[in-house]
Amino acid sequence: MANASGIIFSSLNKNTLSRLTANRTVAAIPFACRYRLIDFCLSNLVNSGIYDISIVANYNYRSLYEHIGSGKDWDLARRSGGVNLISPYQTINDPSSAKMFSTRLEALRSISEFLREMKNDHVVLMDSDTVLNVDLGAIIDEHKASGAVITVVTKETDESFSSKNPRMMIKTSDGYISDIAMSDKFDSDHRELSLGIFILDKLTLLRIVEDATAHNNVSLTEFLMRSCKSNRYATYKYNGYCAVISSFLDYYKYSIELATSRAAREALFEIKDRPILTKVHNSSPKLFKGEANIVRSILADESSIEGSVINSVIFRGVKIGRGSVVRNSVLFHGTYVGESCSLDSIVTDKNVFIGDRTKLSGCHSLPFYIEKGRRV
Amino acid sequence: MNCKKEIIAMLLAGGQGSRLYELTEKIAKPAVSFGGKYKIIDFPLSNCCNSGIDTVGVLTQYEPKLLNEYVCNGAPWDLDRKRGGLYILPPYQGRGGSEWYRGTANAIYQNIDFIKSFSPKYVLILSGDHIYRMDYRKMLESHKRSSAACTVATITVPMSDAQRFGICNINELGEIYEFEEKPKNPKSDQASMGIYIFNTDILIEYLETDDDDEHSSNDFGKNIIPNLLNNGEKLNSYRFEGYWKDVGTISSLWEANMDLLSDDPPLDLSSSELRIYSNNNSMPPQYHGEGSRVSNSLISEGSVINGLVDHSVLSCGVIVEKGAEIYDSVIMENVRIGQGAKIYSSIIDSDSVIMENAVIGVKGEACNEITVIGSGKTVNQ
């Protein structure tokens, strides 16, 4: 068991997943039929023996709290440690004290008392918008062996990289970080993309929070940029599968990739002893009525399918009526598709109702989104 | 000291289920898989959960490993309680010696102290080999109204089948005046479901008397119920309307699975009323590849389908490779069906591997003979 604690951040910045995050925080975004993004963070931590986890969220966290519950589905309902949800709060003497955290640093500062009381020596900081199945234990071991102050998990990028928002891009020399830049496209100098996973020891974390505050740094990124040249910050180059979801289009692209790419499914779901855990809903098996034509698609259980499903991601309890054809689409929990419908490149949010003989279509670079509970 | 309960349930789960042959070679009957994601014991446990019964003793004896593992602390059925909850009750060694449970009545007799510790007014006796969805509260209401010593749940069976059951002959007040175990000439179509509600004091009294009788086979149907009647105790009947199936044989287990696939299934597992809960693992979503052709089937999470599945029930983690064809079959957890293999009217138990191009079962209208492949077997051509 790793002597470490985990801290997960969810939607600290206003980001461009606006449609998916209208009602929910980033960590609670449904992904891959039966999961939410937080499941990948929590599973990576518990699969590495880290059972003391805090989740920091600013707003729209109802669905996240509901999903986590006591944490028992991740073995996180513990007497000591377990899962702990942190959000901004007011103090009685100063009602204006409840400020939203806009950066990781602000969040960490507001919980510094809690950080001081943490029993473990090491801390893993994680963002919730990166989907991967990684052995954090190995990274922590490497961090300890390297003697670095902080280790950032990165992925090497190539010319094909682009992002809707600027992301933290890192330049290393002799194995240590020599420069950091924010960029939304490939930068031949700063080739390593930060995956938002940072490993450091508890005392260093406390020192960073103090130091950054003293220097008026507003964010962890700013602090690292300022201090990287005079400190030994290392990177751990992860070369496995990962999906960095920084926009709605990313979300759509990676969702469909899971349906169509065997390699992606294997890298996330078929690693021995590292299962991705989620809240168990006791769904009944999926019922296929008549002759259903299902090709290159992943489906969660419950409810029934009578039509065709091609290159799609179908969540729990989705019903698809006779003669309907669903292509290149992502249908969230409880979506109802009537008879003889045709859907192409659609993302439906929860409990969308699509009446008989409806034809809807987006395109691959501009999927059409239908908001929660909408009737079409 | 436990809290006082109005009613507790005692679930008889120690049976071998010898008529399920290979399927119960290593597991007790209640641990046999059903309907893709369930085990038989999910049904009585979920019924308890949905009926507000929070204290259940599960009596185990035959091959209990998997069953113990599966019911664990009762959490999937909301039975992980501080006051009450789920208790596994295996046979034990006492000062007077140790003995196995000799029959259904003896199993309860050996746990009288467990029952007494909750001082319940009523005890519900259940068995772990039936598929049904029932609100026991309604039965309890009927029992209270009748002010009887015991209430027996009954179900209407076709007169032609009545010889196979314990038949209750019932008067117009709903009282049972005669009970016949497998009668040659049945007088009624009301069969006992093996579900009883007893007043606790009566139950204990009759179990103790029964234990003193060395000729008794210590069975509820054969001894306890007839003794109640012989002594003039009032026996009430509660008529259950709904789907109920004894899955004690290969063919009835297969049929009950196929019943889930009918157009208007008599037991709808996806219904939110009296939901059936099970101890699920987190498995990835099911995947359908290029060659997937599925019709009239139930398929569960973790499965990978690249072949043809028609009129079949597939559990979690089943792999169907390219060109494989499955018809009218029940495939349990983590079975792999190799390329080009053909399966007809079969039950394939968990972790088995069916190699390439193997053929299992007989093609055609062969419902009279179900082929069974036991757990963990490898079948070559």
Q: Taking CB atoms and an 8 Å limit, are A285 and B292 in contact across chains? A: no
pLDDT of residue A110: 85
B278 chain-A contacts, CB cut-off 8 A: 282
Q: Which residue of A has its CA nearest to B275?
A: A282
- CB-CB neighbours of B127 under 10 Å: 24
pLDDT of residue A68: 96
Q: What is the pLDDT of residues B213-268, one digit of tens each?
A: 999 999 999 999 999 999 999 999 999 999 999 999 999 999 999 999 998 999 99
Give the rounded percent of residues in chain B with a pLDDT score beyond 70. 99
Measured between alpha carbons, how far is residue A42 from residues A55, A76, A155, B33, B136 in Å? 10, 9, 20, 30, 39
pLDDT of residue A316: 95
Kindly give the pairing relationship between strand A35-36 and strand A30-31.
antiparallel
Token pair of B336 as six digits: 């792999």
Partners of B336 in the β-ladder:
B319, B353
pLDDT of residue A249: 92
Nearest alpha-carbon partner for B197 in B125, B91, B298, B288: B125
Q: Taking CB atoms and an 8 Å limit, are A299 and B288 in contact across chains? A: yes
Q: Residue type for B99, please?
A: E
- B95 pLDDT higher than 90: no
**Residue among A34, A282, A296 minimizing CB distance to B290:** A296
Q: What is the ipTM of this complex?
A: 0.91
pLDDT of residue A16: 60
- A266 pLDDT higher than 70: yes
DSSP B3: P
pLDDT of residue A88: 80
Nearest alpha-carbon partner for B133 in B258, B243, B22, B234: B243
> H or E stretch including B185?
none
3-state secondary structure at position B116 = helix
- A138 pLDDT higher than 60: yes
Q: What is the pLDDT of residues B36-56, one digit of tens each?
A: 999 999 999 999 999 999 999
Encode chain A in three state secondary structure.
CCCEEEEEEECCCCCCCCCCCCCCCHHHCEECCCEEHHHHHHHHHHHCCCCEEEEEECCCCHHHHHHHCCCHHHCCCCCCCEEEEECCCCECCEHHHCCCCCCHHHHHHHCHHHHHHCCCCEEEEEECCEECCCCHHHHHHHHHHHCCCEEEEEEECCCCCEEEEEEEEEEEECCEEEEEEEEEECCCCCCEEEEEEEEEEHHHHHHHHHHHHHCCCCCHHHHHHHHHHHCCEEEEECCCCCEECCCHHHHHHHHHHHHHCHHHHHHHHCCCCCCCCCCCCCCCCEEEEEEEEEECEEECCCCEECCEEECCEECCCCEECCCCEEECCEECCCCEECCCCEEECEEECCCCEECCCCEEECECCECEEECCCCEC
Alpha-carbon distance of B282 to A334, in angstroms, equals 20
Averaged confidence pLDDT in chain B = 94
Q: Taking CB atoms and an 8 Å limit, are A288 and B299 in contact across chains? A: yes
Mean pLDDT computed over B342-346: 96
Averaged confidence pLDDT in chain A = 92
Task: Say which residues have a Cβ less than 8 Å from residue B297's Cβ, sequence separation at least 6.
Answer: A287, A288, B261, B309, B310, B311, B312, B313, B314
B304 touches chain A (CB under 8 A): no
pLDDT of residue B3: 83
Residue with tokens 């419908």: A341
A300 chain-B contacts, CB cut-off 8 A: 285-286, 301
∠ CA B55-B269-A337 to the nearest 5 degrees? 140
pLDDT of residue B15: 85
A303 touches chain B (CB under 8 A): yes
> 3-state SS of chain B: helix, strand, coil percent to 5?
25, 30, 45
- B366 pLDDT higher than 60: no
Q: What is the pLDDT of residues A206-242, one digit of tens each?
A: 999 999 989 988 899 999 999 999 999 999 999 999 9
pTM of the model: 0.93
- A18 pLDDT higher than 90: no
Question: Where residue B115 falls among pLDDT bands split at 50, 70, 90?
Answer: very high
User: What's CA A86's distance to the chain center, in Å?
Assistant: 17
Q: Which residue of B has its CA nearest to A278?
A: B282
Q: Taking CB atoms and an 8 Å limit, are A296 and B278 in contact across chains? A: no
